[in-house]
Amino acid sequence: MLRLGPALRSPSQDPLPIECVTLPSRGSTRVARFTRDGSDALEQTLERVCQEVCARIQQIVPSHRLEAILLGGGYGRGEGGVLRTPVGDRPYNDLEYYVCVRGDRFFSRRRWQSQLHDLAAEMTTRAGIDVEFQVVSRDSLCRSRVNMFYYDLIAGHRWIWGDRTLLGACGHLRSARAIPALEATRLLMNRCTGLLLARQKLQRTCLDADDADFIGRNIAKAQLALGDAVLTAFGEYDWSCLERATRLKRLLACRNFPWSNAVGHHHAAGLKFKLHPRRTMAGLRALDERHAEITALAREVWLWLENRRLGQNFRSPREYAFSSVNKCPKTPAWRNCLLNLHAFRSPVFLGNTAHHHPRERLFHALAVLLWCGKGTGERGPANDDVRFLRTCLCTAACDRDGLVEAYVKLWKRFQ
Protein backbone atom coordinates (compact mmCIF):
# COMPACT_ATOMS: atom_id res chain seq x y z
CA MET A 1 0.00 0.00 0.00
CA LEU A 2 1.02 3.55 -0.64
CA ARG A 3 1.95 5.28 2.61
CA LEU A 4 1.28 9.01 2.49
CA GLY A 5 2.40 10.05 5.96
CA PRO A 6 5.78 10.37 7.70
CA ALA A 7 7.22 7.95 10.22
CA LEU A 8 5.70 8.48 13.63
CA ARG A 9 6.70 8.13 17.26
CA SER A 10 8.24 5.33 19.28
CA PRO A 11 6.30 2.08 19.87
CA SER A 12 4.42 1.06 22.97
CA GLN A 13 6.31 -0.91 25.57
CA ASP A 14 3.25 -2.42 27.28
CA PRO A 15 3.12 -6.17 26.64
CA LEU A 16 -0.15 -8.09 26.80
CA PRO A 17 -0.06 -11.88 27.23
CA ILE A 18 -1.74 -13.61 24.29
CA GLU A 19 -0.93 -16.67 22.18
CA CYS A 20 0.75 -15.82 18.89
CA VAL A 21 1.54 -18.66 16.48
CA THR A 22 2.66 -18.87 12.88
CA LEU A 23 1.32 -20.53 9.77
CA PRO A 24 3.48 -22.68 7.49
CA SER A 25 4.24 -20.45 4.54
CA ARG A 26 5.81 -22.83 2.01
CA GLY A 27 6.01 -26.56 2.53
CA SER A 28 7.49 -27.27 5.92
CA THR A 29 8.99 -23.80 6.28
CA ARG A 30 7.61 -21.74 9.16
CA VAL A 31 7.71 -17.98 9.40
CA ALA A 32 9.28 -17.65 12.83
CA ARG A 33 10.40 -14.03 12.61
CA PHE A 34 9.03 -10.72 11.43
CA THR A 35 12.35 -9.82 9.75
CA ARG A 36 15.30 -11.70 8.34
CA ASP A 37 18.00 -10.02 10.40
CA GLY A 38 16.40 -7.52 12.75
CA SER A 39 17.57 -7.33 16.35
CA ASP A 40 15.87 -9.28 19.14
CA ALA A 41 14.64 -5.97 20.51
CA LEU A 42 12.89 -5.16 17.22
CA GLU A 43 11.33 -8.62 17.06
CA GLN A 44 10.05 -8.24 20.62
CA THR A 45 8.64 -4.81 19.87
CA LEU A 46 6.70 -6.14 16.88
CA GLU A 47 5.51 -9.08 18.97
CA ARG A 48 4.16 -6.73 21.63
CA VAL A 49 2.30 -4.73 19.01
CA CYS A 50 0.71 -7.93 17.68
CA GLN A 51 -0.28 -8.99 21.17
CA GLU A 52 -1.94 -5.68 21.92
CA VAL A 53 -3.67 -5.57 18.55
CA CYS A 54 -5.00 -9.07 19.15
CA ALA A 55 -6.41 -8.16 22.54
CA ARG A 56 -7.97 -4.91 21.32
CA ILE A 57 -9.64 -6.52 18.31
CA GLN A 58 -11.24 -9.12 20.57
CA GLN A 59 -12.75 -6.24 22.53
CA ILE A 60 -14.30 -4.83 19.33
CA VAL A 61 -15.51 -7.92 17.43
CA PRO A 62 -17.67 -10.39 19.39
CA SER A 63 -16.14 -13.83 19.89
CA HIS A 64 -18.94 -15.58 17.99
CA ARG A 65 -18.17 -13.46 14.91
CA LEU A 66 -14.36 -13.30 15.05
CA GLU A 67 -12.76 -16.11 13.02
CA ALA A 68 -9.09 -15.18 12.86
CA ILE A 69 -6.51 -12.39 12.91
CA LEU A 70 -3.67 -12.50 10.39
CA LEU A 71 -0.64 -10.29 9.83
CA GLY A 72 0.13 -9.88 6.15
CA GLY A 73 2.67 -7.71 4.34
CA GLY A 74 6.42 -7.98 4.70
CA TYR A 75 6.39 -8.52 8.47
CA GLY A 76 3.75 -11.23 8.14
CA ARG A 77 5.95 -13.03 5.60
CA GLY A 78 9.10 -12.74 7.69
CA GLU A 79 10.70 -10.24 5.29
CA GLY A 80 9.86 -6.95 6.96
CA GLY A 81 12.14 -3.94 6.66
CA VAL A 82 14.76 -3.16 9.28
CA LEU A 83 15.62 0.52 9.68
CA ARG A 84 19.08 0.83 11.23
CA THR A 85 19.37 3.84 13.56
CA PRO A 86 21.93 5.02 16.14
CA VAL A 87 19.56 3.83 18.89
CA GLY A 88 18.94 0.39 17.40
CA ASP A 89 16.82 -1.33 14.79
CA ARG A 90 13.41 0.17 14.12
CA PRO A 91 10.38 -0.98 12.07
CA TYR A 92 9.67 0.82 8.81
CA ASN A 93 6.96 -0.93 6.76
CA ASP A 94 3.23 -0.90 7.45
CA LEU A 95 1.70 -3.49 9.75
CA GLU A 96 -1.18 -4.92 7.71
CA TYR A 97 -3.69 -6.91 9.76
CA TYR A 98 -6.56 -8.92 8.31
CA VAL A 99 -9.53 -9.49 10.57
CA CYS A 100 -11.56 -12.51 9.47
CA VAL A 101 -15.17 -12.06 10.53
CA ARG A 102 -17.92 -14.65 10.14
CA GLY A 103 -20.87 -13.64 7.96
CA ASP A 104 -21.44 -11.18 5.12
CA ARG A 105 -18.29 -9.15 4.47
CA PHE A 106 -20.17 -6.01 3.43
CA PHE A 107 -22.18 -5.99 6.65
CA SER A 108 -19.07 -6.72 8.71
CA ARG A 109 -17.23 -3.80 7.19
CA ARG A 110 -20.15 -1.48 7.81
CA ARG A 111 -20.40 -2.73 11.39
CA TRP A 112 -16.76 -2.71 12.53
CA GLN A 113 -14.52 -0.91 10.02
CA SER A 114 -15.04 2.46 11.72
CA GLN A 115 -13.94 1.15 15.12
CA LEU A 116 -11.01 -0.65 13.55
CA HIS A 117 -10.07 2.56 11.76
CA ASP A 118 -9.96 4.38 15.11
CA LEU A 119 -7.88 1.57 16.58
CA ALA A 120 -5.51 1.77 13.62
CA ALA A 121 -4.95 5.48 14.24
CA GLU A 122 -4.25 4.85 17.92
CA MET A 123 -1.90 1.93 17.27
CA THR A 124 -0.10 3.85 14.53
CA THR A 125 0.83 6.50 17.07
CA ARG A 126 1.88 3.95 19.67
CA ALA A 127 3.77 1.62 17.31
CA GLY A 128 5.61 4.35 15.43
CA ILE A 129 4.61 2.93 12.02
CA ASP A 130 1.37 2.77 10.07
CA VAL A 131 -1.05 0.11 11.32
CA GLU A 132 -3.89 -0.92 9.01
CA PHE A 133 -6.86 -3.27 9.35
CA GLN A 134 -8.85 -4.97 6.61
CA VAL A 135 -12.06 -6.89 7.30
CA VAL A 136 -12.31 -10.16 5.36
CA SER A 137 -14.13 -13.46 5.78
CA ARG A 138 -13.17 -17.04 5.17
CA ASP A 139 -16.19 -17.64 2.95
CA SER A 140 -15.41 -14.67 0.72
CA LEU A 141 -11.79 -15.78 0.41
CA CYS A 142 -12.85 -19.30 -0.50
CA ARG A 143 -15.10 -17.93 -3.25
CA SER A 144 -12.59 -15.41 -4.58
CA ARG A 145 -10.62 -15.73 -7.77
CA VAL A 146 -6.86 -15.58 -7.64
CA ASN A 147 -5.29 -12.14 -7.59
CA MET A 148 -1.98 -10.84 -6.29
CA PHE A 149 -3.50 -9.42 -3.11
CA TYR A 150 -5.12 -12.68 -2.00
CA TYR A 151 -2.18 -14.76 -3.18
CA ASP A 152 0.26 -12.77 -1.05
CA LEU A 153 -2.04 -13.01 1.97
CA ILE A 154 -2.74 -16.73 1.79
CA ALA A 155 0.71 -17.88 0.66
CA GLY A 156 2.67 -15.95 3.28
CA HIS A 157 1.31 -14.58 6.54
CA ARG A 158 1.68 -14.72 10.30
CA TRP A 159 -1.16 -16.25 12.26
CA ILE A 160 -2.02 -14.03 15.23
CA TRP A 161 -5.22 -15.62 16.53
CA GLY A 162 -7.69 -18.34 15.58
CA ASP A 163 -7.86 -21.88 14.22
CA ARG A 164 -4.99 -22.42 11.80
CA THR A 165 -7.05 -24.84 9.69
CA LEU A 166 -9.58 -22.11 8.94
CA LEU A 167 -8.16 -21.26 5.51
CA GLY A 168 -7.67 -24.83 4.38
CA ALA A 169 -10.31 -24.41 1.68
CA CYS A 170 -8.48 -21.40 0.19
CA GLY A 171 -5.68 -23.43 -1.36
CA HIS A 172 -6.59 -22.29 -4.87
CA LEU A 173 -5.37 -18.79 -3.93
CA ARG A 174 -1.84 -20.12 -3.48
CA SER A 175 -1.34 -20.60 -7.23
CA ALA A 176 0.94 -17.81 -8.44
CA ARG A 177 0.68 -19.03 -12.03
CA ALA A 178 -3.05 -18.34 -11.92
CA ILE A 179 -2.55 -14.63 -11.17
CA PRO A 180 -3.99 -12.75 -14.18
CA ALA A 181 -1.70 -10.53 -16.26
CA LEU A 182 -3.99 -7.62 -15.39
CA GLU A 183 -2.58 -7.83 -11.85
CA ALA A 184 0.85 -6.88 -13.20
CA THR A 185 -0.67 -3.73 -14.72
CA ARG A 186 -2.48 -3.03 -11.46
CA LEU A 187 0.78 -3.37 -9.53
CA LEU A 188 2.53 -0.93 -11.87
CA MET A 189 -0.40 1.47 -11.64
CA ASN A 190 -0.11 1.58 -7.86
CA ARG A 191 3.66 2.03 -7.81
CA CYS A 192 3.58 4.57 -10.65
CA THR A 193 0.97 6.48 -8.67
CA GLY A 194 3.65 6.76 -6.02
CA LEU A 195 5.96 8.22 -8.66
CA LEU A 196 3.25 10.66 -9.70
CA LEU A 197 2.81 11.89 -6.13
CA ALA A 198 6.57 12.05 -5.69
CA ARG A 199 6.78 14.29 -8.77
CA GLN A 200 4.28 16.65 -7.16
CA LYS A 201 6.66 17.06 -4.23
CA LEU A 202 9.67 17.44 -6.53
CA GLN A 203 8.05 20.52 -8.09
CA ARG A 204 8.58 22.40 -4.84
CA THR A 205 11.56 24.69 -4.43
CA CYS A 206 12.76 22.84 -1.34
CA LEU A 207 12.10 19.56 0.45
CA ASP A 208 11.86 18.75 4.13
CA ALA A 209 13.03 15.41 5.54
CA ASP A 210 9.62 13.77 5.32
CA ASP A 211 9.16 14.83 1.68
CA ALA A 212 12.57 13.44 0.76
CA ASP A 213 11.77 10.20 2.57
CA PHE A 214 8.45 9.91 0.73
CA ILE A 215 10.14 10.40 -2.64
CA GLY A 216 12.98 7.97 -1.91
CA ARG A 217 10.58 5.33 -0.60
CA ASN A 218 8.31 5.49 -3.64
CA ILE A 219 11.22 5.38 -6.06
CA ALA A 220 12.41 2.20 -4.31
CA LYS A 221 8.94 0.65 -4.44
CA ALA A 222 8.76 1.35 -8.17
CA GLN A 223 12.20 -0.18 -8.68
CA LEU A 224 11.03 -3.43 -7.11
CA ALA A 225 7.66 -3.39 -8.87
CA LEU A 226 9.11 -3.26 -12.39
CA GLY A 227 10.77 -6.64 -11.98
CA ASP A 228 7.80 -8.05 -10.09
CA ALA A 229 5.47 -7.03 -12.93
CA VAL A 230 7.67 -8.80 -15.48
CA LEU A 231 7.63 -11.95 -13.34
CA THR A 232 3.84 -11.78 -13.04
CA ALA A 233 3.47 -11.48 -16.80
CA PHE A 234 5.36 -14.76 -17.20
CA GLY A 235 3.60 -16.54 -14.32
CA GLU A 236 6.75 -16.49 -12.18
CA TYR A 237 5.64 -14.25 -9.31
CA ASP A 238 6.29 -15.46 -5.75
CA TRP A 239 5.26 -14.15 -2.32
CA SER A 240 8.91 -14.01 -1.18
CA CYS A 241 10.87 -11.01 -2.44
CA LEU A 242 14.08 -13.05 -2.20
CA GLU A 243 12.66 -15.83 -4.36
CA ARG A 244 11.43 -13.23 -6.85
CA ALA A 245 14.94 -11.81 -7.11
CA THR A 246 16.32 -15.26 -7.95
CA ARG A 247 13.61 -15.92 -10.51
CA LEU A 248 14.03 -12.52 -12.15
CA LYS A 249 17.77 -13.05 -12.67
CA ARG A 250 17.05 -16.39 -14.30
CA LEU A 251 14.28 -14.97 -16.48
CA LEU A 252 16.19 -11.91 -17.70
CA ALA A 253 19.25 -14.02 -18.47
CA CYS A 254 17.33 -15.86 -21.19
CA ARG A 255 15.30 -12.91 -22.50
CA ASN A 256 16.67 -10.20 -24.76
CA PHE A 257 14.62 -7.19 -23.69
CA PRO A 258 16.24 -3.79 -24.34
CA TRP A 259 15.57 -2.89 -20.70
CA SER A 260 16.63 -6.20 -19.11
CA ASN A 261 19.81 -4.90 -17.48
CA ALA A 262 18.11 -1.78 -16.16
CA VAL A 263 15.17 -3.71 -14.69
CA GLY A 264 17.50 -6.24 -13.07
CA HIS A 265 19.65 -3.48 -11.58
CA HIS A 266 16.71 -1.53 -10.21
CA HIS A 267 14.99 -4.63 -8.83
CA ALA A 268 18.13 -5.45 -6.84
CA ALA A 269 18.22 -1.88 -5.52
CA GLY A 270 14.52 -2.04 -4.61
CA LEU A 271 15.03 -5.35 -2.81
CA LYS A 272 17.89 -3.89 -0.81
CA PHE A 273 15.70 -0.98 0.26
CA LYS A 274 12.77 -3.28 1.12
CA LEU A 275 14.83 -5.37 3.54
CA HIS A 276 16.99 -2.52 4.85
CA PRO A 277 15.17 0.76 4.24
CA ARG A 278 16.83 4.06 4.95
CA ARG A 279 15.62 7.62 5.21
CA THR A 280 17.08 9.37 2.19
CA MET A 281 19.49 12.23 2.68
CA ALA A 282 19.65 13.11 -1.02
CA GLY A 283 18.93 16.64 -2.18
CA LEU A 284 16.29 17.87 -4.59
CA ARG A 285 18.45 17.62 -7.70
CA ALA A 286 19.67 14.07 -6.97
CA LEU A 287 16.16 12.87 -6.20
CA ASP A 288 14.83 14.51 -9.35
CA GLU A 289 17.42 12.66 -11.45
CA ARG A 290 16.65 9.32 -9.82
CA HIS A 291 12.95 9.91 -10.25
CA ALA A 292 13.34 10.78 -13.93
CA GLU A 293 15.38 7.63 -14.55
CA ILE A 294 12.92 5.21 -12.94
CA THR A 295 9.92 7.01 -14.47
CA ALA A 296 11.39 6.64 -17.97
CA LEU A 297 12.10 2.95 -17.36
CA ALA A 298 8.58 2.45 -16.01
CA ARG A 299 7.24 3.92 -19.25
CA GLU A 300 9.04 1.27 -21.30
CA VAL A 301 7.94 -1.61 -19.08
CA TRP A 302 4.35 -0.34 -18.98
CA LEU A 303 4.10 -0.20 -22.78
CA TRP A 304 5.73 -3.63 -23.14
CA LEU A 305 3.40 -5.13 -20.57
CA GLU A 306 0.22 -3.62 -22.01
CA ASN A 307 1.15 -4.47 -25.59
CA ARG A 308 1.82 -8.05 -24.53
CA ARG A 309 -1.32 -8.33 -22.41
CA LEU A 310 -3.70 -6.74 -24.90
CA GLY A 311 -2.09 -7.92 -28.15
CA GLN A 312 -1.54 -4.35 -29.34
CA ASN A 313 1.34 -2.18 -30.56
CA PHE A 314 1.02 1.08 -28.64
CA ARG A 315 4.05 3.21 -29.44
CA SER A 316 3.57 5.83 -26.74
CA PRO A 317 1.65 6.42 -23.52
CA ARG A 318 -0.56 8.94 -25.30
CA GLU A 319 -1.47 6.47 -28.03
CA TYR A 320 -2.26 3.94 -25.28
CA ALA A 321 -4.39 6.39 -23.31
CA PHE A 322 -6.38 7.71 -26.27
CA SER A 323 -7.00 4.24 -27.71
CA SER A 324 -10.55 2.86 -27.42
CA VAL A 325 -9.24 -0.67 -26.82
CA ASN A 326 -10.79 -2.14 -23.67
CA LYS A 327 -7.96 -2.28 -21.11
CA CYS A 328 -9.85 -4.64 -18.74
CA PRO A 329 -11.49 -6.98 -21.28
CA LYS A 330 -12.14 -9.92 -18.97
CA THR A 331 -14.23 -8.03 -16.42
CA PRO A 332 -18.05 -8.56 -16.59
CA ALA A 333 -19.76 -5.75 -18.51
CA TRP A 334 -22.83 -5.70 -16.25
CA ARG A 335 -20.70 -5.34 -13.14
CA ASN A 336 -18.62 -2.60 -14.76
CA CYS A 337 -21.81 -0.66 -15.51
CA LEU A 338 -22.86 -0.84 -11.89
CA LEU A 339 -19.42 0.22 -10.68
CA ASN A 340 -19.41 3.20 -13.03
CA LEU A 341 -22.88 4.29 -12.01
CA HIS A 342 -21.99 4.02 -8.35
CA ALA A 343 -18.70 5.89 -8.81
CA PHE A 344 -19.85 8.68 -11.13
CA ARG A 345 -23.59 8.86 -10.44
CA SER A 346 -24.52 10.63 -13.66
CA PRO A 347 -24.65 8.57 -16.90
CA VAL A 348 -23.52 11.71 -18.76
CA PHE A 349 -19.92 10.96 -17.73
CA LEU A 350 -19.99 7.36 -18.91
CA GLY A 351 -20.39 7.72 -22.66
CA ASN A 352 -19.59 4.61 -24.67
CA THR A 353 -17.27 3.21 -21.99
CA ALA A 354 -20.00 2.49 -19.43
CA HIS A 355 -19.33 -1.23 -19.85
CA HIS A 356 -15.58 -0.80 -19.24
CA HIS A 357 -14.13 -1.21 -15.75
CA PRO A 358 -13.56 2.20 -14.07
CA ARG A 359 -9.96 1.20 -13.42
CA GLU A 360 -9.38 1.75 -17.14
CA ARG A 361 -9.84 5.48 -16.50
CA LEU A 362 -6.97 5.31 -14.02
CA PHE A 363 -4.73 3.56 -16.52
CA HIS A 364 -5.43 6.27 -19.10
CA ALA A 365 -5.11 9.22 -16.73
CA LEU A 366 -1.89 7.90 -15.20
CA ALA A 367 -0.30 7.45 -18.62
CA VAL A 368 -1.04 11.08 -19.50
CA LEU A 369 -0.21 12.61 -16.11
CA LEU A 370 3.06 10.72 -15.61
CA TRP A 371 4.49 10.30 -19.09
CA CYS A 372 3.02 12.98 -21.35
CA GLY A 373 3.89 16.65 -21.50
CA LYS A 374 6.88 18.81 -20.74
CA GLY A 375 9.99 16.97 -19.66
CA THR A 376 8.66 13.50 -20.47
CA GLY A 377 9.72 13.14 -24.09
CA GLU A 378 6.29 14.03 -25.51
CA ARG A 379 4.85 17.45 -26.33
CA GLY A 380 1.26 16.87 -27.37
CA PRO A 381 -1.38 19.61 -27.23
CA ALA A 382 -1.85 20.47 -23.56
CA ASN A 383 -5.45 21.53 -24.02
CA ASP A 384 -6.34 18.15 -25.50
CA ASP A 385 -4.71 16.46 -22.53
CA VAL A 386 -6.66 18.57 -20.06
CA ARG A 387 -9.97 17.90 -21.79
CA PHE A 388 -9.17 14.21 -21.92
CA LEU A 389 -8.22 14.06 -18.24
CA ARG A 390 -11.31 15.97 -17.17
CA THR A 391 -13.47 13.47 -19.00
CA CYS A 392 -11.50 10.49 -17.68
CA LEU A 393 -11.64 11.64 -14.09
CA CYS A 394 -15.08 13.29 -14.19
CA THR A 395 -13.72 16.51 -12.76
CA ALA A 396 -13.99 20.23 -13.45
CA ALA A 397 -10.32 20.77 -12.49
CA CYS A 398 -8.19 22.56 -15.10
CA ASP A 399 -4.74 22.75 -13.49
CA ARG A 400 -2.31 19.90 -12.85
CA ASP A 401 -2.71 19.91 -9.07
CA GLY A 402 -6.47 19.63 -9.38
CA LEU A 403 -6.23 16.87 -11.95
CA VAL A 404 -3.80 14.88 -9.80
CA GLU A 405 -6.10 15.35 -6.82
CA ALA A 406 -9.03 14.00 -8.85
CA TYR A 407 -6.91 11.07 -10.00
CA VAL A 408 -5.89 10.18 -6.45
CA LYS A 409 -9.50 10.33 -5.28
CA LEU A 410 -10.53 7.83 -7.95
CA TRP A 411 -7.40 5.71 -7.40
CA LYS A 412 -8.21 5.24 -3.73
CA ARG A 413 -11.49 3.64 -4.78
CA PHE A 414 -10.21 1.35 -7.50
CA GLN A 415 -6.55 0.68 -6.81
pLDDT per position as a tens digit, 96-133: 999 999 988 889 988 999 999 999 999 999 888 899 99
Q: Tell me, what's the pLDDT at 31? A: 45
Per-residue pLDDT, 382: 66
176 CB-near residues (< 8 Å, 6+ apart): 151, 155, 235, 236, 237, 238, 239
pLDDT for 134 equals 93
**Largest Cα–Cα distance of the chain, in whole Å?**
63
**Ranges of H-type helices in 161-283:** 182-202, 209-233, 241-253, 260-275
3-state secondary structure of 159: strand
Query: In terms of Cα–Cα distance, which of 222, 160, 164 is closest to 19?
Result: 160
Distance CA 36, CA 24 (A): 16
**Cα 268 from Cα 140, distance rounded (Å):** 36
Question: 112 vs 29, 106, 116, 117, 170, CA distance in Å?
Answer: 34, 10, 6, 9, 24
pLDDT at 7: 36
Predicted local distance difference test score (pLDDT) of residue 281: 84
- The pLDDT value recorded for residue 375 is 44
* pLDDT < 70 positions in the chain: 1-31, 345-352, 374-382
What pTM value is reported for the model? 0.86
- Predicted confidence (pLDDT) per residue in 173-226, tens digit: 999 999 999 999 999 999 999 999 999 999 988 889 899 999 999 999 999 999
Considering just the CA atoms, what is the radius of gyration of the chain in Å? 21
Distance CA 288, CA 284 (A): 6
Task: Give the chain's domains with CATH numbers.
Answer: 24-177 (3.30.460.10), 180-312 (1.20.120), 314-415 (no CATH)
3-state secondary structure (DSSP) of residue 117: helix
Residues 6+ apart with CB under 8 A from 108: 65, 101, 135, 137
